[in-house]
Homo-oligomer: A and B are copies of this chain.
C-alpha cells in the first residue's frame, strides 16, 4: 500500500425529507446565494422546499448554471457575490451546479488577476466562500469531494481543479429529488460513477485488498441498481443505493493508498468540450478503449475485475480480459449509452486533434504516465 492522507470533512445528511434541515446547517446571519441550473429544481419541488426551510433568511437566486458549467456564467455569480457581500453559497443541483459553485466560491476570494489561472495554471486557492449542497442528480460525486471541472466555451477548454477550501460544509442527499430525472441523465450518472471507480481501481496492484474490494462493492451495486432504476425510476431504495454509490465512488475512500489513472476522464473531457457529448456518454466510449489499450499494464487488475465483477475465470488470460471489457460495454449499452464515437457522428480526423493538444500541453496520462500522444491516437481509433 502507498502512503496516503485521507481527510474528508463533508457532513452528509442523507435521506428523504432532509432538505428541511438546511436552516440549522447554514449560519443564521448568512447572506446566501442560492445557485442552481435550469427549471428542474422548480419542477421537482426542491426550490420550494429550500425557500420554505429558509423562510425569512436573506437569499439571492442565481440560476442558469449549465451542464459543464461555463467560466463566463460562473464569473457573473462572482460579481454578485462581491457586490452583494454574499458569505454562503447554497448549491442545489447535480454535479455541474456544485462544481460551478465550487469555482465561484474560490474565484470570489481569488487575489490574482485572472481566476481562470486556478484552472489553467493550478493557481493556489487560499480561501473560498463556504458552500452547502443539495444534490439532485447522482454521478459526479462532487457533493463529497473537493474537486470541480469547469468549461470555457469561448476557447473549447474543460479543466479541473481541487482544493480543501471548496469541500462543501454539508451536502443533503435526498434520493426522492432524483425520481423525476430523465432516463438519460440517470444513466449518465450511473456510468460516470462506474468509471470513477475504474479510474481508481483499474491500475497496477499495490497490495491493497481492502480498497480493491471496496471498489468492487461499488461496481457490483451500481450494476445491480443501475439496471433496476431504468425499470422502476421511483423506487426509493434503488435511487438511494445509486446515490450513495456515486458519492462513495469519489470521496477519497477507494483511492486511499492506491495509484490512480484518470486517462478516460482527460480524454472524455475533450470529447465533451469539442463535440458536446455528455460526460457519461464520453466515458462509456473511452473507458473500454483505455482498458483495451492498456491491457498489458493493467493485466493483473483486469483479471481480478473479470473474475470478481463478471465471474469469468475460464479461458486464456487474453480472452478473459476481452470478455470483461465486452461485458463492460454491454452494461453501458444496457444503461442506454452508445459505445462508439462514430455513433455520435464524430470523424476520426477531428478527434485526433485531442492527441496533438495533449502533446502540446506536455500531458502524459495514466497511473504510470505512459499514455502519450501515440496511445491517445490508438485509443481514439479503437473507440471509433
Are A1 and B210 in contact, with the CB atoms below 8 A? no
Chain B residues lying within 8 Å of A225, measured Cβ to Cβ, are 209
A12 at the interface (CB under 8 A from B): yes
Copies in the complex: 2
Complex interface: stretch among A39-47, A51-59, A121-129, A216-224 = A216-224
A208 at the interface (CB under 8 A from B): yes
Q: Mark A179-210, 1 if CB is under 8 A from B, else 0.
A: 00000000000000000000000000001111
Are B209 and A213 in contact, with the CB atoms below 8 A? no
Are B13 and A244 in contact, with the CB atoms below 8 A? no
A319 at the interface (CB under 8 A from B): no
Known: A217-B213, A217-B217. A256 touches B14 (CB 8 A): yes
Chain B residues lying within 8 Å of A208, measured Cβ to Cβ, are 241, 244
Taking a contact as CB atoms closer than 8 A, the residue among B9, B216, B220, B253 that contacts A253 in the complex is: B253
Are A12 and B5 in contact, with the CB atoms below 8 A? yes
Are A257 and B244 in contact, with the CB atoms below 8 A? yes
Are A6 and B14 in contact, with the CB atoms below 8 A? yes
In the bound assembly, the distance between CA atoms of A213 and B207 in angstroms comes to 19
In the bound assembly, the distance between CA atoms of A237 and B212 in angstroms comes to 14
> A residues engaging B (CB < 8 A)?
1-18, 207-211, 213-214, 216-218, 220-221, 224-225, 237, 240-241, 244-245, 248, 253, 256-257
